[in-house]
Amino acid sequence: MPEHQHTPALHSTAPRRAAVVGGGISGLLAALDLQAAGWQVGVYDAAASWGGCVGVHEVAGVELDSGAESFATRSTAVAELAEELGLAGKIVTPDPAGAWVWLPDGPVPLPRTGILGIPSDLHAPEVRAALGASGILRATLDAKMSASVGTTEAVLSVAELVRARMGRRVLERLVAPVVGGVHSADPEVLDVDMVAPGLRAGIREHGSLAAAVAALRASGSKPGSAVGGLDGGMHTLVAALVERLRANGVALHSGHAVTRISRPAKSRHDAGAPVPWTVDWEAGRDSGSESVDVLVVATDGPTAVKLLAAEVPELLPFAPAPGPDIRLVTLVVDVPELDSKPRGTGILVAPQVEGISAKALTHATAKWDWLADSTGPGTHVLRLSYGRSGVAAADAVRLTARPVDGAALTATALADASTLLGVPITDADVLGSDIVRWRGALPFAAVGHQGRVAQIHALAQQQPGLVLAGGWMSGNGLAAVVAGTRRQVRALVDAATE
Ligand SMILES: Cc1cc2nc3c(=O)[nH]c(=O)nc-3n(C[C@H](O)[C@H](O)[C@H](O)COP(=O)(O)OP(=O)(O)OC[C@H]3O[C@@H](n4cnc5c(N)ncnc54)[C@H](O)[C@@H]3O)c2cc1C
């Protein structure tokens, strides 16, 4: 029997109520900050578990991150949140061995001082090994050309910027593999300002792309290391956040898909009283609705626009394309030869490489000491990812030609892992495996995305009590999402306080 819970309309004297749609890191954090600012908050997530892309799964008895497994330390946002949640002592840095990149002519160590694969030090031996003499020669022109190259008003893709300043070899051999691994996308179509905020301004300030990368690397919370993690996995951040929300009395509704967002006509309300937002939800055969004066929509972009279509139809032209269909294959294997970490923390695959379908392999037990300690010597966790969007036609054919059924994909992953690590790994070595499909979860920041986001913010601001948050608004990655969500919620709280 469907259950209908209608909360009475709000008046200025009623306790302030807020609803958050989407319980990924963005929605959970929005709830934390709204509750702290005095709101009575309810969070709705369609999934049975919390955290969205920061998920957890168990493979061969080991609890592992099923999505995000690290955070960028170019800002202090994630570290501060972890500290706030009592996890300061759990922040860890990855093994310094660094990662590798598989180029059409074989594997080479990935330069460590880059951002998105763009090197800051062209004299580093790994940069030389990856680019060769001619590639280095072209890349050094970056320091000689005008700071205006790539920094004018024109919106640029990552590829355009890199090609203009450092040349094609840097793009193809360093940037494309990293961008494919991190953003599951082709640099030709990714908005540089969205995926590397501050980079173009850095060129103007420091005179070259290499210097801008060096400055950005030095400004992070952990200079020298681009990412951090948590002992126990990134999913422990979600667990701590959920525990805090529960303790603070936030109403947590998992398994509740929001199906509609509406606002009653203003005329039906007292003049001057805020017009509430109404959120309709469905949970199995139950359904209901809640009316609130503040609404945070922290789902993926296409869903947010769809849910708001009736009330804010102006958003429709800004609906982003769905993100790529990504599959992560996790293998827990018993292969003592991998104790030597043959490819450091993992390896990225350049798109032009034939015969390997994976775009990246993370050797998780080589990357994180806490994980190696928990599995013990000889046992290894390998994570291979498949699928990218915005790929060139030839690459798309290669990807779609790959089998998608589970057993075949696991077999492909075993073959890819053997090639990439240079160690044969067979079915008999596998202690456990799992395939996680992330469909549309990674927002796709196509060229011009940042401009469109600014317009979306402006449209949302015209709707009192509405915030749009999450990866599609802030940029992909935990650092961007945490900082962006907090900024947005702070603006809303300030506006409400005024
Ligand atoms: C495989 C993978 C690996 C990643 N690795 C890293 C990494 O190592 N480091 C890093 O910094 N970033 C990583 N990212 C990116 C990072 O995880 C995301 O940028 C971030 O978690 C996005 O958070 P979010 O809250 O905006 O969105 P999401 O996590 O996508 O959360 C959105 C939530 O909305 C819910 N929802 C959708 N529709 C509805 C509805 N109608 N009603 C109710 N709820 C709804 C969904 O169930 C979901 O829980 C990774 C992403 C993926 C997919």
Tell whether the model's pLDDT for residue 270 goes beyond 80: no
In a domain, 450, yes or no: yes
Is 465 found in the same domain as 399?
no
With a CB cutoff of 8 Å and minimum separation 6, the contacts of 447 are 155, 156, 157, 189, 190, 191
Is 335 found in the same domain as 307?
no
Range in 62-76, 256-270, 292-306 with the lowest mean pLDDT? 256-270
CA of 91 to the centre of ligand 1 (A): 21
In a domain, 300, yes or no: yes
Task: Write the Ramachandran bin of 309: left for phi over 0, alpha for psi from -120 to 50, otherwise beta.
Answer: alpha
Helix (H, G, I), strand (E, B) or coil at 414: helix
Mean pLDDT of 283-301: 96
Is 430 found in the same domain as 286?
no
> Look-up: residue for tokens 């990293």?
178
CA of 54 to the centre of ligand 1 (A): 6
Question: Cα separation of 47 and 334, whole Å?
Answer: 33
Question: Cα separation of 465 and 297, whole Å?
Answer: 11
CA of 387 to the centre of ligand 1 (A): 17
In a domain, 296, yes or no: yes
In a domain, 218, yes or no: no
In a domain, 213, yes or no: no
With a CB cutoff of 8 Å and minimum separation 6, the contacts of 199 are 115, 161, 192, 193, 209, 212, 213, 216
Is 348 found in the same domain as 199?
no
For the chain, percent of residues with pLDDT exceeding 70? 90
Tell whether the model's pLDDT for residue 401 goes beyond 50: no
Is 139 found in the same domain as 46?
no
Is 328 found in the same domain as 317?
no
CA of 386 to the centre of ligand 1 (A): 17
Specify the pLDDT at position 388.
62
* Minimum CA distance residue for ligand 1 atom 49: 52
End-to-end CA distance of the chain: 43
In a domain, 24, yes or no: yes
Q: Are 162 and 175 in contact (CB under 8 A)?
A: yes
Is 334 found in the same domain as 401?
yes
Is 408 found in the same domain as 449?
no
Mean pLDDT of 300-325: 91
Is 117 found in the same domain as 173?
yes
Per the structure, the complete domain to which residue 188 belongs is given by 113-208
Specify the pLDDT at position 399.
41
In a domain, 11, yes or no: no
Mutation probe of ligand 1 site: the residue of 29, 299, 367 with most atoms within 8 A of C-beta? 299
Question: Cα separation of 26 and 88, whole Å?
Answer: 20
Length of the chain, please?
498
| CATH number of the structural domain spanning residue 126 | 1.10.3110.10
* Minimum CA distance residue for ligand 1 atom 50: 68
Is 302 found in the same domain as 401?
no
**Which residue, of 422, 439, 456, is where some domain finishes?**
439
Tell me how many domains the chain contains: 3
In a domain, 76, yes or no: no
Alpha-carbon distances of 267 from 275, 278, 312, rounded to whole Å: 9, 16, 18
- Around ligand 1, the residues with Cβ closer than 6 Å are 21-27, 44-47, 52-54, 67-72, 257-258, 298-300, 303, 326, 328, 438, 441-442, 470-471, 476-479, 481
Range in 132-141, 210-219, 329-338 with the lowest mean pLDDT? 210-219
pLDDT tier, 271 (very low <50, low <70, confident <90, very high otherwise): low
